[in-house]
Amino acid sequence: MENINTEKIKLDKLIRGFENTKYFGYMFFVEYEGQRFESFDENPNKKSVKSEFRKILEKNKIKIFKGIQQAGRTDANVSAKGNILYINSKGIIDFSKLKFWKQKG
């Protein structure tokens, strides 16, 4: 008989129960230094919090649906010690394999 990871099953059910659709909902708790960004929302030809987050998702081959939602926005040059970015995905994200990076400049 195959060994089943019951903790993973519980987590999957928790995530599915939170998002009442065919997608999985994920919240990312983020912090950032505002002076490194020109805006919070994605804008063409501007470095923004959301566009850099999207690059991280793309680098990790995470496909999102409905865009990136946020708990709150900051103005240009305003930092955040705790903000939440929310995405929907059709698949289960293996957080142990995610690659993040600290950005300079």
The total of structural domains in the chain comes to 1
Residue 27 located in a structural domain: yes
Is 73 inside any structural domain?
yes
pTM, two decimal places: 0.72
Give a yes or no: residue 8 inside a domain: no
| 94 closest CA partner among 5, 22, 3, 1 | 5
Residue by residue, pLDDT tens for the chain (105 residues) are 455 566 665 666 555 555 567 788 899 999 999 999 998 999 899 999 999 999 999 998 898 988 899 988 888 888 899 899 999 988 888 888 877 756 554
Domain assignment of residue 42, given as a range = 22-94
* DSSP per-residue string spanning 5-63: -HHHHHHHHHHHHHS-SSSEEEEEEEEE-GGG-SBSS--TTS-BHHHHHHHHHHHTT--
Cα(51)–Cα(93) distance, integer angstroms? 20
Tracing tokens 């995405």 back to the chain, one arrives at 87
In a domain, 81, yes or no: yes
Separation of alpha carbons 103 and 85, rounded Å: 18
